[in-house]
Amino acid sequence: MASHIPKRRKLDHASSSENETDEESFVDAAKQIPIKTESMQPSSQKHAPQNKNREPTDPAPAFSAEVYKSNLFKLQTDELLAEVRPNFAERLVAVDNALRKIKGIIEEIPDSGPITFSEATTKFQKLDKIQVPFPEPKPQSDPNYKLEYSRPSAINVVGSYVLKTMAKSNSIFTVDVAVVMPSEIFQEKDYLNYRYFHKRAFYLACLAKGLNEAKDCRFSLKFDLLHGNLLQPVLIVESFDGSGDYDFSKSNARIQIIPTIPETTFNKSKTMPEKNSVRPNRDAAQSKASLMEPTPYYNATIRADCSLLSYNKFLHTASAFAESYRDCCILGKIWLRQRGFGGGVHDGGFGSFEWAALSAMLLFGGGPRGRNVLSPGYSSYQLFKAVLQFLATRDLILHPLAFESDLQATKSDSPVIFDGSRGLNILFKMTPSSYQRLRFESQLSIQMLNDSLFDHFESTFILRSNEALQAFDVVARIPITCLPAGTTNLPKEMSSEVQILAARIFNVLRQGLGNRARLVSVSPPALAPWALKSKKPNFSGRLEFEIGLLLDPSNANRTVDQGPPAEEKQEAASFRKFWGPKAELRRFRDGRIIETVIWSTAETGTSVIQQIISWILSRHFGDEVAAQTTLFGDDFKKLYTKFGMGNLDILHSFQSIESAFATLERDVRGIEDLPLHVRQLSGSDAQLRYTSITLPSAESLHLQDRPADVVLQFEGSGRWPDDLVAMQQTKIAFLLKIGESLQALGRGIVVRPGLENELYSKMNSAFLDIFYPNHFKFRLRIHNDREQALLEKQVVDRSLDPRSRDEAVKALSAYKRMFVHSPLHTQTFKSLCTRFPLLGPTIRLVKRWFDAHLLSNHFYPELIELIVARIFLRSYPWQPPSSLTTGFLRTLAFIARWDWRSEPLVVDLSTESTEMTAQDIEAISARFSTWRKLDPAMHRVALFAASNLDLEGIAWSESRPSKVAATRLTALARSACLAVKNAGMHLDPATVFSTSLADYDFVVRLNQRLLKNFRTNKKSSSDFKNIRVQSAENLDLVDCDPVRSFLNELEDCYSNNIVFFNDSNTSSFIAGLWSPSTAPRPWKVGMTYSSQPSCEKDETQIQVNKSGILHEIGRLGGELILDIEARRC
Amino acid sequence: MPTAAHPAAATAAKASKKTSKSAAKSSKASSDPSTSSTAAKSTNDSIDIKNIPLQISDYLILPVSLPPLSCMTKVAGPDAVYHFLYVRPHEPKVPTPTAERSLFVVNVPIDATEAHFRALFADHLGGGRVESVEFEGRRSESKGNVAPMVAEGGLSVSGKKRKRGGQEDDAALMAMMRDPAAAVDLPDTWDRQLHRSGSSAVVTFVDRASMDLALKAIKKSRKSGQAKIVWGEGVEGTGKVPELGIHRYMAHQMLRYPDPDDIKASVNTFMERFSNMEAARDRMRARLRNQADEDGFVTVTRGGRAGPARQEEALEKLEKQKEKSKGKEDFYRFQLREKRKEKAAEMLRKFDEDKKKIEEMRRKRGKFRPE
């Protein structure tokens, strides 16, 4: 049975494509195909019952992973569809009315009779003030054919409006109306030499005239190009307030009138892609054969006009055939739109029509031996995913899809989906560049939908992923005015120089950048609709090509490009031709002599990428183009360097502290007379995982530099005391012992034991600072895992008083953070930073941003790191950032979007991608909702950030940040994103880092001079480097930060009533906000803030004594403070 | 009570306006806000002391003016800034011997010290002599609060210091058993303690008469409205208390890193005491093990011959035992059936949860609208 199916199908297709009387036969074919596929393919029947189950009202959780990704995904998709589907009945009634009216008007337009070209032009120009939108090249003054208008043979509404596959969006709907021009006004040979298009333009002008003159309704009319195709002008009908009865301005729609022709007007075989329809000029006396190059674009445009109605029927058939087809079209439309794809030449040439046609084709065929790829029983999600899968896996350039046709692949560099029955390559508007991007995006989306851990609904449909600065590492604009005419010798038939140039730019860039760029996207400029009376605009205005590059960070900064060896003459010549004088012959160490291009290193200020782009642009498009090209890509990197954060190669920048740490570990392990063996010495500091804002430097000691935290764990022993306080004391004894031993090594190591947590005897109470003579400093603490058990016991011990239980809770979470989470976190981020070279720099820049906006005292640095890691590890809808710019801006965008009130942050940090399970995720979200239930006011936990290292989700967000700070973070990120979006390529990154003090209630300005003086005291410390003696006096001052201590004390004293903000990096301000809890209230004894009595309405109340408190702050700060300013009282 | 106090205060204010001194003062106060814009901002805060009632609830209100600070000019202009203390006789729930000669002060400034209160009462409010001040909060309970002498070497009179060196008696050991933290004796890292904003203190006078004197003086000064009491006058900057500001933080920097030998000594003392305590505890337990109470029962205590050394270990063992006794899963058919049922229920539950989630998301609009 199976063997003869394909045969019969093939026969069918052959017969239908042979049949030239199209409309009826197509309907027949469309009717036949579904019947046959159902009867012949058992697989589709098998799917059908499943489909029945999938009613939205059915509560049974029958949607397994095959039909939908997950229940949640299915429900979300349903919601999405409901949300975007416009209310046809309500909102579009007005459009319907208008459509009917327009149809009436058009039918009333009188026939013009044959008219010559010049007559037509002058008549329209003089009498009607309408410029006939003739496409280029305009006909000569007296062509030997006449133009004519006669009543259309049909007027039909087509496209997504009738298919009911429209989707709401921010832009307006377009309702397509096909006006079928009668065949009689065309001659058989009109398909040649633009004759058809000239007649069509005239016809359109007549339609415009008719609508313009209509008495009882007023619309605003404009010409536009269908899909930006210069050959296909169309008429746009919009309505405005006061359009009278037919006002449809409220429906947010516009009507697009497209002149079409019956499918049989021109011989299909004459307009196949491989045929030539633009005959060369007779004057050019060249041999005919060489000039009859195929004109696929021109031909396809004619075929597109012929087949508009036919496609409409085809899509209708498909929607009747497969229940979910419509939804699939909507999903596809949204997916494309979010990625910036559209039917227009300028936005890729793959829009909702192409999606709908492709899915319809795949429903009816497209598979091996003509079998269908999609089953009609698929759910909308399955259809959607299968179409994506098809786009992702099949290379349509190498293996074109021929539907109902036996077209053999012609070698070309553009993708082909050839529809045999309509003779059209539906991808004819795509460029190699846009096709590369389409495949790239669909592959990415397929990866993302195959992710078993997270469902990525948002990344698939909700997020807009084509914001240039977020999507691309390098964005460039090449102004089109500078491109000298005739830089190309490509076939003219494409009729759009813009497109040719786009292709050329793409090829040059792709060749020039090689494997430095993963993706090169070139978007040609688009033309805006123009008024009837004005001439068709051309691209003489300042329109620009937009270039987007995705870099491969491992190759992007390579300075040597090797070409072919000198012996391969031909290749070498073309290499030299491409690079010009930049190419040089070099002999390499291994003896090869190779054509080479050398770029200077990035230190000169411009990155290698930038050098390449400007070089090849000036070589291939002229110096002027190169000079006027604007580029955005390195700007954040420059800022990064300006902040003194070193270069992007963090592994190199942090190498010295790494080796110092190794020395420390050796030294500690080498201590012989310790009663216990060292099990592990682990780093637990940002400096030891490449993420600290300031580089640990070996040059000099900065007094505010903190020693890097390290945690020492001994082998287990039963001899530790069974009491927390005693254990802390024992740890001190160990630290002292270690210090003595290290100092006894006699290598200039200086140690300094210090005290901390003086008020909490259960917490770690001492540490040991270790100074190496090379200026690296570490802060050692001892980890004993018995502490956890003892603390946990105390937390639940009912016999203890509440206060000491509270203290135990606090101590437990501090213990976990310091001794459990931090070392693990450090370990993990160290390896992540090696895996993603840009993770470290991005984290550091984001931390700098937090600091610039006075937020750093509210967030654990680890939390910031987790957020940035999320951008890299769950990067969808993009690939992991491959530049600092994308990393940073995506982080900001994520923060701006993150609805932390109702969403946990979940990051799977594991290097093996399978460490976290769906159960873990579930447990995390359960825990999250428990927290929200327990603490709805978010006093203890505002942000919730879980990872595979911390399933509890609060290690780095417990009680810090407060809700106020988290809200402020979101607001700041939002406004930053808005600023970035508005500035576009003209963004000055420094503006993102400048903060405003306007929102704070008061600002304490710190005495910069004093602090600076205080800091420059360390001059002496650089002196002693020379004499190699570390004097204890100088070391005493290391890690001395009066501002931090001051801030900590303020936070302790006014904990619940003032929120303080400070930038720890420059320490120029402390800003504060009064908490709403300080509102006036009746008298009570246990107030938590300084108050003053106030009498209002004969009743004495108390209110916060703001000036009194500010005075207290002033007294406490003393000389540290320059002045205090109360902004809002 | 406040309603009664209010008119009185108002009349007092009216009356005092007639005197030339205060008239000049008040005119100055009223003209200032209009001239300087920064001061205008703070009009909410700047308060005419005359309008402040004498009492709130049963607390006397004592405004103390704060010394001018250069950094405060933008906030308050040349106006005086006040801090308000609320004072009443100390009446603790559990009577203490010193209660009747103590005042309870609410809303203590964060930087108050005993010296401040001594000066306040001695110089401004009748000259009553303060014996001691006990500030609210743990810090003041366990550690001395007048710090400069503490640093010198334990001359102060806090409880735990007295224990040092002396032969520890059983009571001390018992106290340590309850809370070993009290025995920790690491050096202080701050030279002057701060207080939480709005906290309270108990000021104990040498005798009842001094206290009464102080109370009367407060009332008098409020009624006359003449003498301006300045906080910290004759205390700050005279060496009586450690300085604030950068000096405080520098001092902290030094105190944070005490001499290793000092630390060592303190740790050694603690450890010695701790082992004494442990020995004593073991002795006590051993005693308890052999002692029957009056009903003839012997209390079971830890540390016998056979029991595991640590409680957690015992618990762990117990857990393991339980695990073992559980038996195998998926052995009987009913277990499988139960499992299947559970799974189905679980799926239903999850589905409901998802639906709820969606509902939630729908309520927050925009989740399903493509950007």
Find the largest Cα–Cα distance for chain A: 112
B188 neighbourhood in chain A, CB within 8 Å: 758
A79 neighbourhood in chain B, CB within 8 Å: 358, 361-362, 367-368
Residue B135 tokens read as 């500030």
Chain A closest-CA separation from residue B369 CA (Å): 6
**Cβ contact (<8 Å) for A1112 and B197?**
yes
Q: Is A796 on the interface with B (CB under 8 A)?
A: no
Phi, psi of A313 (to 5 degrees): -65, -45
Residue A373 tokens read as 């790829």
Instruction: Tell me the per-residue pLDDT of A245-287, one tens digit each, with 9 for 90 and over.
Output: 777 777 788 899 999 999 888 888 888 888 888 776 655 445 4
**A–B: how many Cβ contacts below 8 A?**
279
Of B271, B358, B371, the CB nearest to A76: B358
Chain A closest-CA separation from residue B124 CA (Å): 20
Give the CA radius of gyration of chain A: 36
Spatial CA neighbour of A196 closest among A347, A61, A48, A303: A303
B106 neighbourhood in chain A, CB within 8 Å: 1085, 1087
Instruction: Tell me the per-residue pLDDT of B219-271, one tens digit each, with 9 for 90 and over.
Output: 888 887 766 788 888 888 788 888 888 889 888 988 899 999 999 999 999 99
Q: Are A553 and A838 in contact (CB under 8 A)?
A: yes
Spatial CA neighbour of B54 closest among B24, B93, B13: B13
Chain B closest-CA separation from residue A706 CA (Å): 13
Spell out the long-range contacts of A1083-1088 with Cβ–Cβ below 8 A and sequence spacing 24 or more: A1083/B2, A1083/B56, A1083/B57, A1085/B106, A1085/B200, A1086/B198, A1087/B106, A1087/B107, A1087/B198, A1088/A1055, A1088/A1056, A1088/A1057, A1088/B196, A1088/B197, A1088/B198
CA quadruple A80, A83, A87, A91: dihedral sign: negative
What is the total residue count of chain A? 1129
Spatial CA neighbour of A739 closest among B259, B202, B130, B22: B259
Question: What is the distance between the alpha carbons of residues A745 and A987, in angstroms, rounded to a whole number?
Answer: 55
Phi, psi of B205 (to 5 degrees): -95, 165
**Cβ contact (<8 Å) for A755 and B311?**
no
Question: What is the distance between the alpha carbons of residues B160 and A112, in angstroms, rounded to a whole number?
Answer: 113
Chain A closest-CA separation from residue B161 CA (Å): 17
The nearest alpha carbon in chain B to A763 belongs to B181
Residue from B71, B139, B255 to probe the interface with A (highest A Cβ count within 10 Å):
B71
Name the CA dihedral angle for B44, B50, B54, B55, rounded to a multiple of 10 degrees.
Answer: -10
CA quadruple A378, A380, A385, A391: dihedral sign: positive
Q: How many CB atoms lie within 10 A of CB B93?
A: 4
Please give the mean pLDDT across all residues of chain B: 73
Confidence of residue B58 (pLDDT cuts 50, 70, 90): confident
A461 neighbourhood in chain B, CB within 8 Å: 370
| pLDDT computed for residue A1 by the predictor | 39
B34 exposed, middle or buried (CB, 10 Å; 0-12, 13-18, 19+)?
exposed
Q: Are B130 and B114 in contact (CB under 8 A)?
A: yes
Helix orientation angle between A786-796 and A802-815, rounded to the nearest 10 degrees = 150
Question: What is the distance between the alpha carbons of residues A1105 and A1124, in angstroms, rounded to a whole number?
Answer: 15
B263 neighbourhood in chain A, CB within 8 Å: 732, 736, 753, 755, 766
Residue A1119 tokens read as 């000389």
Strand ranges of the sheet holding A424-425, from the earlier edge strand across to the other edge: A401-403, A417-419, A424-425
**Cβ contact (<8 Å) for A793 and B71?**
no
B45 neighbourhood in chain A, CB within 8 Å: 1105-1107, 1129
Question: What is the distance between the alpha carbons of residues A788 and B335, in angstroms, rounded to a whole number?
Answer: 37
Domains along chain A with CATH numbers: 71-278+292-462 (1.10.1410.10), 468-559+599-633 (3.30.70.3020), 649-832 (3.30.460.10), 837-850+868-962+973-994 (no CATH), 1002-1126 (3.30.70.3030)
Interface subset of A 216-255, CB within 8 angstroms of B: none
The nearest alpha carbon in chain A to B79 belongs to A1107
Residue from B136, B249, B302, B353 to probe the interface with A (highest A Cβ count within 10 Å):
B249
Chain B closest-CA separation from residue A17 CA (Å): 40
Q: Is A338 on the interface with B (CB under 8 A)?
A: yes
Kindly provide the ipTM of the predicted complex, given to two decimals: 0.77
Q: What angle do CA B8, B13, B19 make, to 5 degrees?
A: 135
Of B3, B72, B264, the CB nearest to A1098: B3
The nearest alpha carbon in chain B to A1051 belongs to B196
User: How far does CA A97 lie from the centroid of its chain?
Assistant: 41
Residue A737 tokens read as 């012992």
Question: What is the distance between the alpha carbons of residues A629 and A545, in angstroms, rounded to a whole number?
Answer: 10
Residue A259 tokens read as 């002149």
Chain A closest-CA separation from residue B117 CA (Å): 16
Most confident of A1096-1100, B40-44, B351-355: B351-355
Phi, psi of A523 (to 5 degrees): -110, 120
Strand ranges of the sheet holding A678-683, from the earlier edge strand across to the other edge: A678-683, A708-714, A777-783, A766-771, A750-755
Residue from A1112, A1125, A1128, A1129 to probe the interface with B (highest B Cβ count within 10 Å):
A1112
Which residue's entry shows tokens 């390195």?
A634
In DSSP notation, A243-301 reads: -GGG--GGGTEEEEEEEE--TTSS-GGGGSTTS--SPPPSSS---HHHH----HHHHHH
Phi, psi of B363 (to 5 degrees): -60, -40
Of B45, B74, B139, the CB nearest to A1123: B74
Of A334, A728, A1126, the CB nearest to B75: A1126
Domains along chain B with CATH numbers: 49-139+188-243 (3.30.70.330), 258-300 (no CATH)
Interface subset of A 718-757, CB within 8 angstroms of B: 718, 721-726, 728-730, 732-733, 736, 739, 752-756
CA distances to A345, A963, A974, A994, A1072 from A943, rounded to whole Å, are: 44, 8, 17, 25, 21
Residue ranges, chain A, pLDDT below 70: 1-67, 141, 242-244, 280-291, 406-411, 480-497, 537-543, 602-604, 698-704, 912-914, 1013-1035, 1095-1098, 1128-1129
**Cβ contact (<8 Å) for A337 and B370?**
yes
Residues 6 or more apart in contact with residue A1026 via CB below 8 angstroms: none
**Cβ contact (<8 Å) for B196 and A1052?**
yes
Question: What is the distance between the alpha carbons of residues B219 and B214, in angstroms, rounded to a whole number?
Answer: 9
**Cβ contact (<8 Å) for B364 and A1108?**
no
Residue from B106, B173, B197, B277 to probe the interface with A (highest A Cβ count within 10 Å):
B197
**Cβ contact (<8 Å) for A1123 and B200?**
no
CA quadruple A820, A825, A828, A831: dihedral sign: negative
Interface subset of A 537-576, CB within 8 angstroms of B: none
**Cβ contact (<8 Å) for B271 and A902?**
no
Q: Is A800 on the interface with B (CB under 8 A)?
A: no
Which DSSP category does A327 fall into? H
Helix orientation angle between A884-897 and A839-852, rounded to the nearest 10 degrees = 50
**Cβ contact (<8 Å) for B72 and A1116?**
no
Q: Are A449 and A392 in contact (CB under 8 A)?
A: no
**Cβ contact (<8 Å) for B245 and A1100?**
no
The nearest alpha carbon in chain B to A789 belongs to B312
* Paired sense of beta strands A777-783 and A708-714, if any: parallel
Question: What is the distance between the alpha carbons of residues A334 and A169, in angstroms, rounded to a whole number?
Answer: 9
B111 neighbourhood in chain A, CB within 8 Å: 1112, 1115-1116
Confidence of residue B365 (pLDDT cuts 50, 70, 90): low
Chain B closest-CA separation from residue A1071 CA (Å): 14
| pLDDT computed for residue A117 by the predictor | 84
Residue A648 tokens read as 């992007």
Q: How many CB atoms lie within 10 A of CB A911?
A: 11
A724 neighbourhood in chain B, CB within 8 Å: 180
Instruction: Tell me the per-residue pLDDT of B135-166, one tens digit each, with 9 for 90 and over.
Output: 886 433 433 333 333 333 333 333 343 434 44
Give the CA radius of gyration of chain B: 32
Instruction: Tell me the per-residue pLDDT of A337-361, one tens digit each, with 9 for 90 and over.
Output: 999 998 888 888 899 999 999 999 9
**Cβ contact (<8 Å) for B74 and A1126?**
yes
Question: What is the distance between the alpha carbons of residues A208 and B304, in angstroms, rounded to a whole number?
Answer: 105
**One-letter identity of residue A572:** A
| pLDDT computed for residue A1023 by the predictor | 37
Residue A869 tokens read as 């890691």
Residue from B90, B110, B202 to probe the interface with A (highest A Cβ count within 10 Å):
B110
Question: What is the distance between the alpha carbons of residues A735 and A752, in angstroms, rounded to a whole number?
Answer: 10
Name the more confident of B132 and A483. Answer: B132
**Cβ contact (<8 Å) for B370 and A1052?**
no
Helix orientation angle between A724-744 and A786-796, rounded to the nearest 10 degrees = 160
| pLDDT computed for residue A497 by the predictor | 66
Q: Burial code of B330-352, b = ≥16 C-beta within 10 A, e = fewer?
A: eeeeeeeeeeeeeeeeeeeeebe
Question: What is the distance between the alpha carbons of residues A970 and A977, in angstroms, rounded to a whole number?
Answer: 10
Chain A closest-CA separation from residue B19 CA (Å): 24
3-state secondary structure of A89: helix
The nearest alpha carbon in chain B to A63 belongs to B351
Helix boundaries (H) for A1028-1079:
1032-1036, 1042-1053
Strand-pair partners of A630: A477
Q: Is A49 on the interface with B (CB under 8 A)?
A: no
